[in-house]
């Protein structure tokens, strides 16, 4: 498995890199690519280019970080890249040019404002990347993948978008719980999951919808001790509020379980 991990050297992004490395170690090894983008405009009036200063600092930070990652994940191959580019645009192009199974990033960056650095890049990639993305909450500590919760909508039970989740479950030996949120448990009937899962431990259930779908699912994950929450991102009403309004964007950054966002074809 090959993972891209955008990093701005904030505690959240370093934590996400550690999570990705430990995941690959659990899965028996793999490749981890650390990508740092320097988005600084140089000023000709300065004797020293500002972006050169930032690049030198980034190179030193990476030299310090890689040995730390190798200590916790010795079987993982680590590569680092620094680019003087806008992170949102560059990462999308980099993903198209190279083959990655996952993007792993933090939900917050260097700035306290969620609209900046890693935070905004994460939200942008969720909307535009065709590569599955896992967003790691700030300070979340890695646990071996044992329990995966998948939020269902009317179409997710048979979509090919869930194939990466099945692959991850097979590699890790994790159980998958498919969860449908509903306002009326008595009148809700969850259909069969039309996916090849004969070799994966799984169950399907319905839970009562609370304030919102994100809050309902993340509360369920906390109660059950789930290690990963999966959602399929469509341009459809089921997840529209999560990605399109300020209220639910706040909910996104408040989710306390690693969030696995799967791009859908529609």
How confident is the chain (266 residues) per 10-residue block, as mean pLDDT?
Answer: 92 92 95 87 52 79 93 95 87 92 77 40 77 87 93 63 90 93 64 76 88 82 92 55 45 73 67
Nearest to 149, CA basis, from 224, 94, 90 = 224
Residue 162's pLDDT is what? 86
Residue 103's pLDDT is what? 94
| CA–CA distance, 170 with 163 (Å, rounded to integer) | 11
Domain boundaries, the chain: 2-136, 147-258
Residue 114's pLDDT is what? 38
Residue 50's pLDDT is what? 60
Q: Which CATH code fits 147-258?
A: 3.40.50.620
Give the residue ranges of DSSP H helices in the chain. Answer: 11-26, 50-72, 87-97, 117-128, 163-172, 213-224, 237-244, 246-254
Q: Which CATH code fits 2-136?
A: 3.40.50.620
Cα 145 → chain centroid: 14
| CA–CA distance, 180 with 189 (Å, rounded to integer) | 9
Residue 246's pLDDT is what? 40
Sheet hosting strand 2-6, strand order edge to edge? 76-83, 30-37, 2-6, 102-106, 133-136, 259-263, 228-233, 147-152, 175-182, 202-208
Helix (H, G, I), strand (E, B) or coil at 13: helix
| CA–CA distance, 45 with 43 (Å, rounded to integer) | 5
Helix (H, G, I), strand (E, B) or coil at 162: helix
Cα first-last separation, the chain:
26
Nearest to 28, CA basis, from 75, 70, 64 = 75
| CA–CA distance, 51 with 42 (Å, rounded to integer) | 6
């Amino acid at each position: 498995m090959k993972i891209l991990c955008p990093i701005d050297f904030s505690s959240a992004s370093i934590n996400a890199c550690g999570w990705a490395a430990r995941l690959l170690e659990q899965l028996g090894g793999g490749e981890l690519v650390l990508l740092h983008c320097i988005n600084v405009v140089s000023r000709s009036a300065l004797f020293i280019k500002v972006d050169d200063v930032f690049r030198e600092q980034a190179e030193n930070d990476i030299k310090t970080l890689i040995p730390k990652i190798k200590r916790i994940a010795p079987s993982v191959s680590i590569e680092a890249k620094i680019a003087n580019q806008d992170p949102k645009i560059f990462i999308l192009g980099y993903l198209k040019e190279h083959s990655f199974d996952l993007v792993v990033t933090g939900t917050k960056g260097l700035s306290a404002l969620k609209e900046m650095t890693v935070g905004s890049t994460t939200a942008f990639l969720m909307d535009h990347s065709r590569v599955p993305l896992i967003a790691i909450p700030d300070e979340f500590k890695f646990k071996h993948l044992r329990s995966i919760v998948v939020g269902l909508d009317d179409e997710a039970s048979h979509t090919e978008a869930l194939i990466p989740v099945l692959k991850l479950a097979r590699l890790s030996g994790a159980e998958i719980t498919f969860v449908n949120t509903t306002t009326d448990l008595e009148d809700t009937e969850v259909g069969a999951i039309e996916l090849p899962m004969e070799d994966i431990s799984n169950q399907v259930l319905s839970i009562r919808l609370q304030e919102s779908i994100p809050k309902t699912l993340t509360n369920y994950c906390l109660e059950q001790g789930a290690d990963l929450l999966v959602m399929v991102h469509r341009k459809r009403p089921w997840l529209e509020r999560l990605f399109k309004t300020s209220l639910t964007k706040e909910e996104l950054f408040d989710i306390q379980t690693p969030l696995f966002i799967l791009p859908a074809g529609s």
